[in-house]
Amino acid sequence: MLASPPVFVRVGKPLARSLEQLPVADSVFVKHRWSSLSIAALVLLAACGGSKTATVAVPTTAKVSTTATPTTAAATTTLDTLLGIAETVPDTSVAVTEAAAETLPKPEDPPPPDLSVPRDQIGALSIPDIKIDMPMFEGVSLPTLDKGPGHWPGTAMPGRAGNVVIAGHRVSHNHPFRDIDKLKKGNEVIFTVNGGKYVYVVRETKIVYPDALWIVEQTPGKTATLFACHPKGSTRQRIVVLLDYAPNLSMPVA
């Protein structure tokens, strides 16, 4: 539950500088400081359409649990819970212990959208059902996403425990995720990394708002998340495709 009305953050070209140096009067109006990951993630999600200016609601307070709680039933997420900071996580049937949580990857703070240079290619992404077969890069800055799908630094790598998080454009540059909304349950998403082939299958698709930061959270099992702006040409919402690892279809490196 939100303790007070949302504060609005205006995201635009001024974010070409570091968040710490960003003048309040220039582009950001905040009364309470969020964690660096939350702010940076929100900035990235709000700016995924390119150089457009977008306005999104930022909750001024959010309840954060610091203790890992075993999951005994599948969690459900609705659009109502995503109007603020979502407190639910993707479905998982595996209990998360504190010891296990410590071994999961930790997502890095992404850079301001227009600041960093493109990162290196780390592999390839193939989605046969929507005719995607292209290089995949490390990083989620706008220059990187202009080259192709980007892997969120610090999230799991394909085939490893945790959540592989991949971002991509829908209408600009290579627009790799243009038809991501056409993916159906059971469709295959294939990652080729370091000589290994890792196949994930679509579990479900969700439409969320830019403040749904749970999409980068790590899971105890092997999962993946694809996300892009929604609808096409708009930064109002995000389309999120949740995937599960298919070991019987994969060819990992020995």
29, 146: one domain: no
Residue-range definition of the domain harbouring residue 44? 7-58
- More confident: 218 or 1: 218
Q: Which two tokens stand for residue 225?
A: 């998340």
In a domain, 66, yes or no: no
Number of folded domains in the chain? 2
pLDDT grade for 17, boundaries at 50, 70 and 90: very low
CA 147 to chain centre: 17
| CB-CB neighbours of 50 under 10 Å | 16
pLDDT grade for 234, boundaries at 50, 70 and 90: confident
Q: Give Cβ neighbours of residue 196 (< 8 Å, ≥ 6 apart).
A: 158, 159, 250, 251, 252, 253
The whole-angstrom separation of Cα 165 and Cα 157 is 9
pTM: 0.62
Ramachandran area for residue 222 (φ above 0: left; ψ -120 to 50: alpha; else beta): beta
Q: Give Cβ neighbours of residue 241 (< 8 Å, ≥ 6 apart).
A: 180, 183, 189, 202, 204, 205, 225, 226, 227
Whether 200 contacts 245, CB under 8 Å: yes
For residue range 178-210, what is the model confidence (pLDDT) as tens digits? 999 999 999 999 999 999 999 999 999 999 999
CA 96 to chain centre: 21
3-state helix, strand, coil in the chain (%, to 5): 15, 30, 55
136, 204: one domain: yes
In a domain, 64, yes or no: no
104, 182: one domain: yes
For residue range 145-184, what is the model confidence (pLDDT) as tens digits? 999 999 999 999 999 999 999 999 998 777 899 999 999 9
For residue range 43-53, what is the model confidence (pLDDT) as tens digits? 455 455 454 43
Examine the pLDDT at 23 and tell me if it is beyond 90. no
150, 83: one domain: yes
Q: Indicate which CATH number applies to the domain containing 196.
A: 2.40.260.10
Pairing of strands 162-167, 150-151: antiparallel
103, 177: one domain: yes
The whole-angstrom separation of Cα 198 and Cα 222 is 11
Summary mean pLDDT of the chain? 70
49, 119: one domain: no
